[in-house]
Structure 1
Amino acid sequence: MKAFIVCALIAATFAAPQQYAKPEYKPEYKPAEYKPAYKAAEYKYDYAPYQFAWAVKDDYTYNDYAHEQVTDDKGYTKGSYRVLLPDGRVQTVTYTADAYSGYNADVQYTGEAKYPEYKAPAYKAPSYSAPEYKAPAYKAPTYPAPAYKAPAYPAPAYKAPAYPAPEYKQPSYKPTY
């Protein structure tokens, strides 16, 4: 039955007349070329040349650092800075920077790293010994056991069910020709 319905639908589809007309050919739409209403201003930024330098050296707080930098009107920058590290060395960074090659740094260390030698603390904590503990002389009271006798309950009367043994029949096979 299903095959009949499917065949009938396929036959009806091919036998039906075309009800829809083919669409008319329309040329592809091409937008007009974009032309801005006004011309955008072009800016050329000039680099402002500058030069600065500063330094701090304070022996009381162990601060020792400096920075200097020079920039020309073409954007080329050259400078260096110096920092006193906690291990006693001085780190000096000399750098150049421009729009073409970026930031290039040369890092150098002067001096030798020194770490203070470990010294055991001079203070020694006193040692205490725990006091001896002696348990108090205490005797727990004794109580006689309660006179309790469990009630006598009769044993439940339960009889196990008796199941008959299953009987198996030998199947008979008859050859079929």
Structure 2
Amino acid sequence: MNAKVLVLLGLAAIAAADSFESYEYRPPQHSREDSFESYESGEAKYDFNWAVSHDPSSNEFGHQEARDGDHTQGSYYVELPDGRLQTVKYFVDGDSGYVAEVNYEGEVSHESASFESQEYRPRYVYDSNESK
């Protein structure tokens, strides 16, 4: 009786296995006319803009950029630790390379360069025993 049940279960397993599709890796099939040169991508075109304003630390920075084909233009700014605002405007036009104009607004203030609170100052601790 047990042998008949085992044989029936074995046959059912074989029948179920035959009904599943076989999955295997096959490299893509290309005709001789296909080549990597025939795949063309469109011209790059995008536009983005973001900004951060962190009131507790008076940290402000941002970036905007737009690109259309070979022409790219943008700017970014950052509030420096000395209280000035640094702004960089740039462009790239074809093979001209990266051309930037850097400007500073405000006066240097040594008071703004130090934090009133240690809460925002990073702290690095080196323990010579850790590497052993």
How far 1:96 moved relative to its partner? 0.4
Greater fraction helix? 2
Matches within 5 A, 1:82-101: 82-101=77-96
Which residue of 38, 41, 46 maps to 2:42?
A: 46
1:115: which partner in 2?
110
Question: In 1, distance between residues paired with 2:53 and 2:43?
Answer: 32
Letter matched to residue 86 of structure 2: Q
Q: Point out 4+ residue stretches in structure 1 off by more than 2 angstroms.
A: 37-48
Across the two proteins, how many residue pairs are aligned to each other? 79
* Structure 1 residues 38 and 56: CA distance shift in structure 2, 3 A: closer
Matched residue, 1:58: 54
Using the size of structure 1 for normalisation, the TM-score is 0.40
Structure 1 residues 75, 46: closer, same or farther in 2, change over 3 A? farther
Alignment of 1:1-177 (within 5 A): 42=37, 44-72=40-68, 74-116=69-111
Q: Which has the higher strand share?
A: 2
> Which runs of no fewer than 5 residues in structure 2 stay unpaired?
1-31, 112-132
Cα distance in 2 for partners of 1:47, 1:86 equals: 39
Structure with higher Rg: it is 1
Q: What is the rounded CA distance, in whole Å, between the counterparts of 1:58 and 1:38 in structure 2?
A: 57
Aligned CA-pair RMSD:
2.1
Q: What is the Cα deviation at residue 75 of structure 1? A: 2.1
- Which structure has more relative contact order (CA 8 Å, sep 6+)? It is 2
Structure 1 residue 46: Cα displacement: 2.8
